[in-house]
Amino acid sequence: MTTEQTADSPSSTADRLAALPIRDELRGQEPYGAPQLSVAAMLNVNETTYGMPEEVVEAITDRVRAAARGLNRYPDREFTALREKLADFLGHGLAAEQIWAANGSNEIMQHILQAFAGPGRTVMAFPPTYSMYPLYARGTNSRYVAGTRGEDFVQRPDDVVAQIRRHRPHVVILCSPNNPTGTALGLDVVEAAYEAAGDSQTMVVVDEAYGEFRQPGTPSALELLHGRPRLIVSRTMSKAFALAGGRLGYLAAAPEVTDALRLVRLPYHLSAITQAAAEAALDHAEALMANVERIKAQRDRIVDELTAMGLQPVPSDANFVLFGGLADAHAAWQHLLDDGVLVRELGIAGHLRVTAGTEEETSAFLGSLGRHLAASGGR
């Protein structure tokens, strides 16, 4: 500790940062984060609210114990076994050389932008969407362009095409199902975006972090990978596999894309422990997908019951529901929190987002919100 900064100094975080020679574009910025509060029903960050099944806990424990015996050595740099298991899980005729993995889909996106964006290059996404996209761009010194959506949050091929041709980004990100709206893209949108991006040799990334929660009949962009070397489909094990604490994201793309990502990854970026835990979870995909079906049932229940309350939930293909029609969204958020239910404020007027939890958590949310609406005249 120096004389410039003592333990009892009143300086704020902003003041302390201002004293450092950080990059200009980072000055005045806020880090990503959601409230981390200990409440009975934590329904704000779209985690799987069902705990890991005991049989999977045991399998992960056994696999990690075995990996621990070799921690004096570096892990498999190519995470070969994991890539093979991920390819098998995704299907669609994918091979291990088409798979890449990293510490969460956040690092996946970082690798993509490090390889294909960067200084003097542009990244485009379509708000309201995942709030990390601008931060990925900023972290790689890329320029971020915010596209637009229709009033119903839906993206349509002609509109997406026009925006891509106007801005000619180096990377365009399409989120499907989209966070925070829960809306999924038709393959016609992805196909149109890919064709429009051909003139500018733009990489098209379809972020399918919530892909396993899609409604029946909603397609995956994995179907479009063949013959499209500039198309990337990103996934995560944080949601459907209940592995948010394990930090494992992955993508599928042409083999040359994974070759490009090798140029920017840090050495041995996936620990032996991470690989072991992910492999064990993939071996028990069937048990974990059973919880996905339970979550989907609660999601659909939320949509039905919020509609009956006179609110406007957005039809969802994810494990959460965005809903509007609130006169004072913050007052509703606070009422829910006072009742031990934490949901997400998003800065969209009149809207909140709730994760589909267990049956008990969903009942607690619906009951609390119903009481709030009754006390506030229905809104």
Alpha carbon distance 92, 86 (integer Å)? 12
Q: What is the pLDDT of residue 6?
A: 41
Mean pLDDT by runs of 10 across the 379 residues of the chain is 40 79 83 78 94 96 98 98 98 98 97 98 97 96 96 93 97 98 97 96 98 97 98 98 97 98 97 98 96 97 98 97 96 97 95 97 98 86
Q: Are strands 249-252 and 231-236 parallel, antiparallel or unpaired?
A: antiparallel
Residue 28: both structure tokens together: 């005045």
Alpha carbon distance 150, 145 (integer Å)? 17
Q: What is the pLDDT of residue 11?
A: 54
Residue 102 CA from chain centroid, whole number: 14
Listed as own residue / partner, the contacts of 18-23 with beta carbons closer than 8 Å and 24 or more positions apart are 23/141
Q: What is the pLDDT of residue 31?
A: 80
Which structural domains are found in the chain, ordered by start? 41-52+287-375 (3.90.1150.10), 54-283 (3.40.640.10)
Alpha carbon distance 356, 210 (integer Å)? 12
Alpha carbon distance 352, 323 (integer Å)? 6
Q: What is the pLDDT of residue 378?
A: 63
Q: What is the pLDDT of residue 10?
A: 33
CA dihedral 314, 181, 367, 37 (to 10 degrees): 180
Residues with Cβ < 8 Å from 258, sequence gap 6 or more?
A: 97, 98, 99, 100
